[in-house]
Structure 1
Amino acid sequence: MKKLLSLLFLVFILLSACQTKQSRKDKIIQSPNIIFILADDLGYGDISCQGQTKFKTPNIDAMAAGGITFTQHYSGSTVCSPSRSVLLTGQHTGHTPIRGNKRDEFGNWPLPANTKTVAKMLKEKGYTTGAFGKWGLGYTGSTGAPNEQGFDEFFGYNHQTLAHNYYPYFLNHNQDTIWLEENEGTAQGIYAPIPIHQQAIKFIENNKNKPFFMYYPSIIPHAELFAPEEYMEKYRGKLLPEKKYIGSDEGHPRFKAGGYGSQPESHAAFAAMINLLDDQVGEIVAKLEELGIEKNTLIIFSSDNGPHLEGGADPDYFNSNGPFKGYKRDLYEGGIRMPMIAYWPGKIKAGSKTNHLSAFWDFLPTVAELTGAQQPENIDGISYLPTLLNTGKQAQHDYLYWEFHEKNGRIALRKDNWKLVRYDVLSPEITTTELYDISTDIGEENNQAEQQPELVKELLKLMKDARTKSEVFTFE
């Protein structure tokens, strides 16, 4: 009897150990996958669920219908590189390492080696990490290269200037250069968003049985304006009057990197590009469903800054900035208020909306709370997970802050419903000061600075205290 009891006890211990091991395995597998889709220069009004009437975005709309839409969400900056730096570090442009589109002799100014990114944070939690699209935070071989900043795999444009061109001669796969051949019988090469998307889908397939973070910074619809012919056919002659753009190549789609190609049908091209982006969003969702992991995957869709004016773009024709004033490089709402949709079947209430005040620097702490990861110190973001899941108390920002180093310097700060905007800050003799009540004046038309001197004084002090000095991105 004694031997039997000992044997039973041993079996119990072994079974418990196996169950504990399996429980840990299940916990890892059930850690939510995270996908962040970042459009490039897509305006607040460039998706049909937010007012676009000249074309449709059914797949993005479906995410909004099945998830939550943030109506007061802001990008990290009003141009590419700093906005991405903010997103990945959880620090606004007063603190994040890359605060402008500055270059050194080799390419985009690189993130320092000691930068704590969301990818590094998630790798510590056992996540596989991949980035597919436009990087712009450090060239191959630098401390800012994707593989040096926490990404296991990268495929796309390492340098953002090269991402001006949709038919490039090469792309980067981790440290390797992937040369793209010309299409047989044509002057064009390969339309880069297509192989980038294929690699992203492959990444999802390869990591279906373990937690992954996929950062998908598409180059669409950044200038220049080109789309594959099958998409152009859908819109050709339908968005009149057309806008012809003469670029630096006299019509040839492959030329010296950095310029913009000529486009005789810019309106059709713009709609076609967003059509392709929308299809790619739909294919990502469909792949998750095919693999049976859609209910364990959080998808967030947004854009890095407001609509651009280069390369034949015509944001006024499309009402790309919606009800807001300003474009890319502006710190008015049109330059920094972005579409933001979060989709997670079974976790996020379908068709919900929130006016919670949020920004790119909130993504990192949200992911940290979601996964139990240890977030870095000295970040500016707050988690919006309570808003996503409609549970718990949602923390609020004291204020939001942006600085822009071009155009003679621009600064903006939002506190509650008040927004202070200053232009030409590098020339004090001509600096402008504008104060708007965003709750009643979303078009920023009624400057109340003279009527609210004490409030202006308070917000100016917050502006001054919101930043630390940078030896690289000087702003004095």
Structure 2
Amino acid sequence: MNAMTTLTYFFPRRVLRAVVVLLSCVCLAASAAESEAAEQPNIIFILADDLGYGDLSCYGQKNFKTPNLDRMAKEGMRFTQHYAGCTVCAPSRACLLSGQHTGHVHQRANGPIEFRPDPQDISIGRLLKNAGYHTAMIGKSGLACNSQNGNHPAEKGFDHFFGYISHGAAHRYYPQVLWRDGEKVQYPDNHGKEGKHYSTDMFVADAKEYIKEHKDGPFFLHLSLQAPHADLNVPAKWRDPFVGKFKEKPHTKDSHYRNETHPKATFAGMVTNLDDAVGQILDELKEQGIDENTIVMFASDNGPMSEGGWDRNFFNSGGPLKGGKRDMYEGGVRVPMIAWQPGKIAAGETSDHVSAFWDFVPTACEAAGIKPPADTDGLSYLPTLYGKGEQPEHDYLYWEFHERGGKQAVRQGDWKAVRLDFQTDPSRPLELYNLADDLAETKNVAAEHPEIVARMREIMRKAHVDTELFKIPAN
């Protein structure tokens, strides 16, 4: 007897038909799930630290070249109006990973604050993990400015973590201790400011190994590098080619950051080392044959610094923009951003779409085929990346900063409002600039446009929600 005859001998035909239909449905569902998984792109977000809008040659830097990021821009899309989450590290990264701006996000300042346990402060790691992605964060954790919990990234949805859980520790490029998946890793040959194991090299090597291991996807990798944040520190092979090219003033007797005899050469070496790191990741994706199914984004967490022996004016790190790190002017929050996916993102495109860090969560969610969280302040820019559909636009972008007297800023269309010293002088008048005519924010036109000032003040009021830690006095 054949198989069907044998089964018919033991079971009625109507039962067998039901079983066949059920199995067919299961197979179709499995096939649909496999198809959906195959359509989910891998997502990589590479983040630099304190890199200015003008620090890449594709954004105008003339003192050194960044050929790999230039190639990424040539093969992908370069954004000219992309904004960080804040003007310093921790709140900016919190905006990136949560999808909220600093008027709503829990972490709005540097300090011992961290993402709270789920279901509070849901991260993009958790959202993509729930959507079937394997998730990793390598480098400087954006989930806490200073955590004592080495398992914190795993608790917030990251299957793999290797790096720093303290931003203070991340000032050092030769770490004595890093964390790997909840366990401490000791580096006895490292001494903080000097050593044998350079953190960027370790993080890039780990990222490449991760890509190889998870090439079948889908995966989400957040590669969060330290450069060019002070310490000014880079291996000699990157620094030495620039020694003698610039007029130098040695940086000595620093109580915190590393002393450096050639700050300009070291900074140039740090950015070119960062550029090489990005090139290695792109090359690894091509080597594994997954470049066309991987969205790669690159940005900086805030504007350029002036600390640790570095002055952002040396190489015009802010480009045409006013200010830098800890400012609410454009130089503090407008950052380079490049997106790359061969065959999907048009090569050589430049976009002036106004976007911000809190847009990354809905963008990644749309790419993964899932709904963004209901409390996001972001709008997906996937239509801009893929050139399909209608791109939604923000009514406004909002920032607040709780150092140096307190600062707020709003951009609405071409108008930019800046409020200074809200903690010490709540009645201080707003500054108003028209970015279309005055990108460098040199002319305060608030007196000429009282109705726009009033509108901006109202946006600042409604965009901020008081928390126990962060309050803004009425004015």
Q: Deviation per CA, 1:290-339: give whole Å up to 9, x if none.
A: 11000000000000000000111121111100000001000000000010
State the 1:188 CA deviation. Answer: 2.4
Quote the Cα distance in structure 2 between the aligned partners of 1:372 and 1:262. Answer: 49
Quote the Cα distance in structure 2 between the aligned partners of 1:129 and 1:418. Answer: 38
Query: Could you tell me which residue of structure 1 aligns to residue 249 of structure 2?
Result: 243
State the 1:181 CA deviation. Answer: 2.6
Equivalent of 1:218, from 218, 225, 231?
A: 225
**What is the total number of aligned residue pairs between the two structures?**
458
Q: 1:38 is matched by which residue type in structure 2?
A: L
TM-score normalized by the length of structure 2: 0.91
Query: Could you tell me which residue of structure 2 aligns to residue 422 of structure 1?
Result: 419
State the 1:175 CA deviation. Answer: 1.6
Equivalent of 2:56, from 31, 35, 47?
A: 47
Inter-CA distance 337–19: structure 2 relative to 1 (3 Å threshold): same
State the 1:24 CA deviation. Answer: 2.7
**Mapping 1:124-139, distance limit 5 Å:** 124-138=130-144, 139=146
Inter-CA distance 140–174: structure 2 relative to 1 (3 Å threshold): farther
Query: Could you tell me which residue of structure 1 aligns to residue 41 of structure 2?
Result: 32
Inter-CA distance 320–187: structure 2 relative to 1 (3 Å threshold): closer
Query: Could you tell me which residue of structure 2 aligns to residue 155 of structure 1?
Result: 162
Q: 1:99 is matched by which residue type in structure 2?
A: R
Quote the Cα distance in structure 1 between the aligned partners of 2:26 and 2:418. Answer: 61
**Mapping 1:200-349, distance limit 5 Å:** 200-238=207-245, 240-248=246-254, 259-349=256-346
Query: Could you tell me which residue of structure 2 aligns to residue 110 of structure 1?
Result: 114
**Mapping 1:57-68, distance limit 5 Å:** 57-68=66-77
2:101 aligned with 1:80, yes or no?
Answer: no
Q: 1:47 is matched by which residue type in structure 2?
A: L
State the 1:400 CA deviation. Answer: 0.4
State the 1:377 CA deviation. Answer: 1.4
Question: In the alignment, is the contact (CA less than 8 A) between 2:422 and 2:472 conserved in 1?
Answer: no
Quote the Cα distance in structure 1 between the aligned partners of 2:433 and 2:253. Answer: 38
Query: What SS is found at the alignment partner of 2:313?
Result: helix
Query: Could you tell me which residue of structure 2 aligns to residue 173 of structure 1?
Result: 180
State the 1:428 CA deviation. Answer: 2.2
Question: In the alignment, is the contact (CA less than 8 A) between 1:140 and 1:175 conserved in 2?
Answer: no
Q: 2:375 is matched by which residue type in structure 1?
A: N
Moved more, 372-381 or 50-59: 372-381
Query: What SS is found at the alignment partner of 1:216?
Result: strand
State the 1:170 CA deviation. Answer: 1.2
Question: In the alignment, is the contact (CA less than 8 A) between 2:49 and 2:226 conserved in 1?
Answer: yes
Moved more, 396-405 or 25-34: 25-34
Quote the Cα distance in structure 1 between the aligned partners of 2:90 and 2:72. Answer: 27
Inter-CA distance 170–142: structure 2 relative to 1 (3 Å threshold): closer
State the 1:16 CA deviation. Answer: 8.1
Gaps of 5+ in 2: 6-12
State the 1:280 CA deviation. Answer: 0.8
State the 1:145 CA deviation. Answer: 2.1
Moved more, 152-161 or 427-436: 427-436
Quote the Cα distance in structure 2 between the aligned partners of 1:181 and 1:25. Answer: 46
Query: Could you tell me which residue of structure 1 aligns to residue 10 of structure 2?
Result: none
Query: What SS is found at the alignment partner of 2:433?
Result: strand
Inter-CA distance 247–15: structure 2 relative to 1 (3 Å threshold): farther
Quote the Cα distance in structure 2 between the aligned partners of 1:389 and 1:15. Answer: 35
Q: 1:73 is matched by which residue type in structure 2?
A: H
Q: Deviation per CA, 1:34-69: give whole Å up to 9, x if none.
A: 000000000000000010011111110111111111
Quote the Cα distance in structure 2 between the aligned partners of 1:31 and 1:209. Answer: 11
**Mapping 1:13-28, distance limit 5 Å:** 18=27, 21-28=30-37
Inter-CA distance 20–464: structure 2 relative to 1 (3 Å threshold): closer
Query: What SS is found at the alignment partner of 1:130?
Result: strand
Quote the Cα distance in structure 2 between the aligned partners of 1:183 and 1:177. Answer: 14
Query: Could you tell me which residue of structure 2 aligns to residue 253 of structure 1?
Result: none
Quote the Cα distance in structure 2 between the aligned partners of 1:262 and 1:247. Answer: 7
State the 1:25 CA deviation. Answer: 2.1
State the 1:12 CA deviation. Answer: 10
State the 1:475 CA deviation. Answer: 3.3
Question: In the alignment, is the contact (CA less than 8 A) between 1:421 and 1:433 conserved in 2?
Answer: yes
- Structural RMSD (CA): 2.4
TM-score normalized by the length of structure 1: 0.91
Q: Deviation per CA, 1:91-133: give whole Å up to 9, x if none.
A: 0000001001122xxxxx1111121111111011010000011
Question: In the alignment, is the contact (CA less than 8 A) between 1:405 and 1:475 conserved in 2?
Answer: no
Quote the Cα distance in structure 1 between the aligned partners of 2:296 and 2:202. Answer: 21
Moved more, 218-227 or 374-383: 374-383
Query: What SS is found at the alignment partner of 2:296?
Result: strand
Question: In the alignment, is the contact (CA less than 8 A) between 1:181 and 1:189 conserved in 2?
Answer: no
Query: Could you tell me which residue of structure 1 aligns to residue 393 of structure 2?
Result: 396
Task: Give percent identity, aligned residues only.
Answer: 44
Query: What SS is found at the alignment partner of 1:29?
Result: helix
2:161 aligned with 1:120, yes or no?
Answer: no
State the 1:165 CA deviation. Answer: 1.1
Question: In the alignment, is the contact (CA less than 8 A) between 1:92 and 1:361 conserved in 2?
Answer: yes
Q: 1:366 is matched by which residue type in structure 2?
A: T
Inter-CA distance 134–14: structure 2 relative to 1 (3 Å threshold): same
Q: 2:321 is matched by which residue type in structure 1?
A: F
Query: What SS is found at the alignment partner of 1:350?
Result: coil
Query: What SS is found at the alignment partner of 1:263?
Result: coil
Quote the Cα distance in structure 1 between the aligned partners of 2:149 and 2:188. Answer: 27
